[in-house]
Structure 1
Amino acid sequence: MAEYFAHLLWLRGEQDFLGNRYSRKHLLRFDGGLEISASSSPHIVPVPMSDAASVDPEEAFVASLASCHMLWFLSIAARRGFCVDCYADSPVGIMARNSDGKLAITVVTLKPDVTFSDDCLPARDEIEQMHHQAHQECFIANSVKSEVRCEPLFGQSPAGRPDSAT
C-alpha cells in the first residue's frame, strides 16, 4: 500500500469572511516541494473572490485523469516496443447534475494525440487497444468511485499553530 500526501493552506488575513467577500485562493504543496497556486473555479465563484490564474479543483481533477492515462499509455507502448516521440492531450471535463441531482464532473473526455517514431508505427487498432488498456489500468480513473473521508483535527489550526477557538 502506498500513501500520497499534499498540504493545503488558506489564510484569511484582513478579508471580510462573514460578508462572503474573501479570496478563495490558497496554496497546494506536494511532497517533492512543488507549490501550486489554487483557487475556486471562476465558473463557480466570481472573480475577484476566485483567481482565474490559479488551478481550480475541477481542472486538477481533469488533469490528473489525463496525466494518469498518459503515464499508463507510455508504459504500455514501451513494453510493446512502440517508441513514443510526443504525447499531447487537451482533456475536457463537463460539470452537470448527476443522477442524484448533485453538481459533479459527469464526463471527462481525453483527447490524446500521440506521435510515434517512424521506425515503429503501431496500427490504429493497436493504438486503440493501448488506450483501452491504459484506461483500465489508470489509478485515478479507477478511483473516481472511491470513498472520500473527512477526519477533522481539533486543537491545531491547519498551519500547525494552536487553534484559539478551542
Structure 2
Amino acid sequence: MSRRHDYRVTVRWSGDTGTGYRDYARDHDVVVEGKPVLAGSADPAFRGTPERWNPEELLLASLSQCHMLTFLSLCARADIAVTGYVDTASGVMREEPGNSGRFTEVVLRPEVTVADPAVVERAETLHQQAHDTCFIANSVNFPVRHEPTTTSS
C-alpha cells in the first residue's frame, strides 16, 4: 500500500527594480509555516547574493540529508551504533546553450564512525541500500554516487 505525503513551501520575492535583467533582485525567502525563514537567492554566477542559499546548494543538501537519514535508519534497524557522520558532497551542473542546464552528477562522501569495529563492513554495505531507497535520489534524473568511508571509534 502506498502512502501519500504532501509538502507546502512558499517562495516570496519582491525585488522588482524596474530596470530589467541586470538589476532585478534575486533575493527571496523560502517559507514553511512554523519554521525559520530560509534566505534564498540565485547562485552568484547568475547574479545572486553569495550569503544566501541557492537552489543548486539546496538540491545538493537535500540529496545528502536524505542519504544520511536513510542510512542512519538502516543502521538503527541493524543495531549498528553510529557515533559520527559527516558528508562533504559535491555536484556538477553544466550550462547548455539557450539558457538551460542540468546537474550531471552528485557525489556523496559520507565519513561514518561506528562504535563497534566488528560492524564496519556491514555499515559500509548499507550505503547502497540507503541509496536505493532514498526518496530524493529516486526523484532526480542524474547519477548520485556515494564514496563512503567507515571507521570505528
TM-score (normalizing by structure 2)? 0.81
Structure that is richer in strand per residue: 2
Q: 1:123 to 1:6 in 2, by over 3 A?
A: same
Equivalence for 1:24: 26
Q: Distance in 1 between matches of 2:35 and 2:131?
A: 29
Q: Of 120, 123, 126, which residue of structure 2 is paired with 1:123?
A: 120
Q: Of 104, 107, 120, which residue of structure 2 is paired with 1:106?
A: 104
Structure 2, unaligned stretches of length 5 or more? 142-153
Deviation at 1:20, TM superposition (A): 3.0
Q: Of 86, 89, 99, which residue of structure 2 is paired with 1:88?
A: 86
Q: Counterpart of 2:8 in structure 1: which amino acid?
A: F
Q: Percent identity?
A: 35
2:114–2:120 Cα contact (<8 Å) kept = no
Q: Distance in 2 between matches of 1:56 and 1:19?
A: 18
2:70–2:133 Cα contact (<8 Å) kept = yes
Q: More relative contact order in 1 or in 2 (CA 8 Å, sep 6+)?
A: 2
Equivalence for 2:58: 60
Return the index of the structure with the highest Cα Rg: 1
Equivalence for 1:39: 41
Structure 1, unaligned stretches of length 5 or more? 146-166
Structure 1 outlier segments of 4+, above 6 Å: none
TM-score (normalizing by structure 1)? 0.75
Q: Distance in 2 between matches of 1:26 and 1:121?
A: 48
Deviation at 1:23, TM superposition (A): 1.4
1:39–1:51 Cα contact (<8 Å) kept = yes
Aligned residues: 136
- Give CA-to-partner distance per residue, 1:55-94, whole Å, 9 cap, x none: 0000000000000000000000011111111111110010
Q: Distance in 1 between matches of 2:109 and 2:58?
A: 16
